[in-house]
Amino acid sequence: MSALPKPEIRVLKARPATAAALAPYGQLLGYNPDVEPMPIDFYAGAVKVRRVVDCVMDDQLELPVVTVNPRPLELRWMERHTRHTQGFIPLGGKPFVAVFAPPNDQDIPDLDQVEAFHFDGQAGFMMKLGTWHDFPYALEENTHLIVLLRREATDGLVRDNVIQNEVIGPDLEKKDIVQRTQVLFRVEL
């Protein structure tokens, strides 16, 4: 039996997660003083409502709280959703890393456009439709995140949709990048 070829290693230097840096992939989800409050006059001005991100959801919204613990900063899978804009909101202010590639009409992400971002735990993000991504990487134990997504996407990971280490569902494509391309991304902080 022949050994599998060793994958090509590509190193991603995690950039600070700023609104400008995340623009190709989505929007920073947190307080933004540049967004004007809506003209809602209840509570004598004590409550100010700002729409800071665009959210697309055409089915049952789910808000699971996930606990993420540190794992190797190596990217094996990337996934995308075409029916909703998935978001992640940190709880407790713990930092994390997220990896993205822009939406495309290909079967896998453009590997030359994969980027890593370091979030300080004060804000999350809302992705554009079709943005390729991996699940965030915790930098500290017991990092808690609220995930905004369609119930169908979550169910797709736990049902019989997993075939040869990948998932294909109505609103979820999770691809094994290493298996398909022989490229392994490693993230450096």
Does residue 51 contact residue 153 with C-beta atoms inside 8 Å?
A: no
Task: Enter the tokens of residue 127.
Answer: 């992705």
Rounded Cα distance, 186 and 12, in Å: 6
CATH classification of the domain holding 152: 2.60.120.480
Is 60 among the domain residues? Answer: yes
Is 70 among the domain residues? Answer: yes
Total count of domains within the chain: 1
Is 5 among the domain residues? Answer: no
Does residue 75 contact residue 184 with C-beta atoms inside 8 Å?
A: yes
Is 169 among the domain residues? Answer: yes
The confidence band for 44, taking pLDDT boundaries of 50, 70 and 90, is: confident
Res 48: pLDDT: 86
Is 58 among the domain residues? Answer: yes
Is 20 among the domain residues? Answer: yes
Eight-state DSSP code of residue 111: G
| Whole-model pTM over 0.85 | yes
Q: Residue 6 pLDDT more than 70?
A: yes
Distance of CA 75 to the CA centre of its chain: 13
